[in-house]
Structure 1
């Protein structure tokens, strides 16, 4: 990710108040469940030795068990050597109620489909089903042509050692597949689209397991950077709202230019600047702003604050923030999010970053370096989550080192985290890992499989307890919006608002009559508040509203999100959504 926000405490500083029993007992429980689950997976592999999901689960469980044993320093004679060097006899390991970090299972891939080199990409992703043809892509986007590398008679490759090639590829993929206009100032981190989309889809999987109450999903991007990749993809792929946070004014200026170039996304993204943590400022020799150079333009003296930033972003002062930690400094008091995303700085020093042979995706010092490196960053993030608890439903981060993955798993076990999920973001020879934990999700979410993908239209049984539903549609966005409007009119419900620019409509969930009804055309926009009640109004309480939003995932491929606003969830909302989905079946 892009930049650090706080120095890391030592692992032993993470509070253990939520952990039942001692640290030793927690680790024993964790290892016992790993052993039990590993045996079950091995037994299943006897029947299906080549099943990729079982093989991945086996690998992750073995790594989790190895990491826990290493953390506890458990030798072969059964003696448990604790952190202070004292020894105690290790009793036989009990069967624990605490599940280990588990990969999210998916439906098996259909034989003969998918790209062979992308077999471990999230099945939601379009990139799981096809490998890029850089030659064809360069035909459509000529700025890629200088970076093509011939490969005999096969498809050309790309010169991934050139940072300009990585920027050009990201620009082309975002334009072709997501309808986004994108560019990047020289020197900043160029994100690989396929890996970042993989992360977004995994968060979708997590929210399908457990999500906070409320209609719209809003996420926090910790270190949004100049590339703004997670808010752009999250809004385009899933329709989420985002608060993108950064310490660097240069990064936020670049992010604001991206929002100005993508007005359809801009309304869903808020930028926010937070000050550096004292330890980070000291690490960068007391520089107040991001060290992209001797000093950023506009960062002398008092720098840009509030109105001086031209309204391009919000400023969060210490008095307004929920705390002073790596996450809490970015939240306003009382604020809550469905999830946070993070791609932490990878290196401990600029020297280490300079020695790394695979830095063609670029990066400024703030994007690449953090005192203590990646592990220190994510352990600080965990420590802050122990205070924030349910203010963020899912805490997630990407990590690039297996040692960091093991350290974070052990720290989560010591902190008493009961709901922990892990996954691997793999493509070709590059692997990253995702770690997620929640203090708010039910314990069953730690190992529960994903619900099977819903069927089409009214035949699909919708969960009446959910406030949000989504489904893909393969046709043009205008045709989708027209069909939704016709279905709303046909249902007899009140059509409150149609916004053809935002490709959205709002419908009253209750039974029909009145309102705009059938008199609204797909090109009309009416104020949402018109039919609601007010002081002295005898029209009754504010009705529950269903908002339907069309998002383009690729040309000719849309996702429709239905969310409930106001009132409690009930069968009326599921019934309305089913009717709307049925109207999309014929498209």
Structure 2
């Protein structure tokens, strides 16, 4: 299956899925493989089991993850789009490091809402060798992430956020220093809006009424009071407390219309710089917003010294 829009040039999935290679690495995928109208191999992306098996094959083939699974009902992330975020974060760090992408475990990344899938730490560690700290409020998600680390013998730090109203508070410790934070925030403002969004998606697929989600997702992964803007606004407010402990704070933004109010919030926070990065993924364009309190002439020093 070829992607309809260009992924990041370093994205291993930019030319689509090599099903021959994927099935060779994960033979179980063959049972889910079908042909599209052009006779090319693909899967039924409305089939939860097929999506999960494809992810398992992609993570094993491209990122050396021998075992991957998630509990039923948890978010099953589309790998190519998630990895794009990682690659653009690497570019962001390169911009702060004389255009040289920093690699290795001295580079510290904080993944807010890491989820049961642990997708960002798994792929980011494989691609760039960074050390990830994954945070989640869901105990079952943290348990799943711990099992993935154990099965694959990975050194990823996992922390439970115990207070729903907090994001960075309680998980960033006094001696921590992070080069980058990342987050795929819950974007619906209520459970009703999340349900309506799911129904619109199935309607667009011509499948009529259904409450099922082909990529799954728990409530905490999909909605929070106030929706995406409120969540990121809280993130911005808390980031001020940790301005000296992190070079770049970032978050995905699902709706372009949310960028303007978020930029106003960041301006009030008196950040040193704001960047908005567009990412082309399949049939849509996504984006993330990034902000830093570190002045431009001090960023390379932060990259060099933090985490050592």
TM bucket, shorter chain: 0.7 to 0.9
Equivalent in the alignment of 1:433: 287
Q: Does structure 1 residue 274 correspond to structure 2 residue 274?
A: no
Alignment of 1:26-37 (within 5 A): none
Report deviation, 1:162: 2.1
Residue of structure 2 in register with 1:239 after alignment: 129
Matched, 1:196 2:82: yes
Deviation at 1:393, TM superposition (A): 0.9
Shift of 1:151: 2.1
Runs of 4+ in 1 over 4 A off after TM superposition: 465-468, 563-566
Equivalent residue, structure 2, for 1:169: 54
1:143/1:230 Cα in 2 relative to 1: closer, same or farther (>3 Å)? same
Change over 3 Å in CA distance of 1:249–1:132 after alignment to 2: same
- What is the alpha-carbon distance in structure 1 between the residues aligned to residue 58 and residue 196 of structure 2? 29
**For residues 371 and 155 of structure 1, what CA distance do their matches in structure 2 show?**
43
- 1:252 correspondence with 2:139: no
Using the alignment, how far apart are the partners of 1:466 and 1:243 within structure 2? 18
Residues 154 and 135 (structure 1), Cα distance of their counterparts in 2 relative to 1, 3 Å cut: farther
Conserved in 1, the CA contact under 8 Å of 2:182 and 2:251?
Answer: yes
Pairing 1:187–2:64 present: no
Deviation at 1:156, TM superposition (A): 2.8
Aligned counterparts of 2:106 and 2:262: Cα–Cα separation in 1: 30
Answer with 1 or 2: which has the greater Rg: 1
Partner of 2:169: 328
Residue number in structure 2 paired with 1:156: 41
Measured in 2, the distance between the counterparts of 1:196 and 1:353 equals 21
TM-score w.r.t. length of structure 1: 0.46
Q: Report the Cα distance in structure 1 between the residues aligned to 2:74 and 2:16, rounded to whole angstroms.
A: 26
Show the counterpart of 1:105. Answer: none
Give the match for residue 403 of structure 1: 257
Unaligned runs of 5+ in 2: 202-212
> 1:119-143 CA deviation, whole Å, 9 max, x = no partner?
2x22222223x21144653454333
Partners in 1 of 2:128 and 2:172 — Cα distance?
22
Give the distance between the partners of 1:191 and 1:467, measured in 2 at CA: 29
Q: SS of the counterpart of 2:13? A: helix
CA distance in 2, matches of 1:158, 1:404: 33
Residue 370 of structure 1, CA deviation: 0.8
The residue matched to 2:275 in structure 1 has which SS?
strand
For structure 1, which runs of at least 5 residues remain unmatched after alignment?
A: 1-114, 280-324, 446-462, 469-562, 567-587
8 Å CA contact 2:13–2:80 kept in 1: the answer is: yes
Aligned residue pair count: 288
Confirm or deny: 8 A CA contact 1:135 1:148 kept in the other structure: no
The answer as to whether partners of 1:338 and 1:394 remain within 8 angstroms in 2 is: yes
SS of equivalent to 1:390: coil
Q: In angstroms, what is the RMSD of aligned CA positions? A: 2.8
Deviation at 1:145, TM superposition (A): 3.4
Name the counterpart of 1:261: 151
CA 1:364–1:564: 2 relative to 1, 3 Å: closer
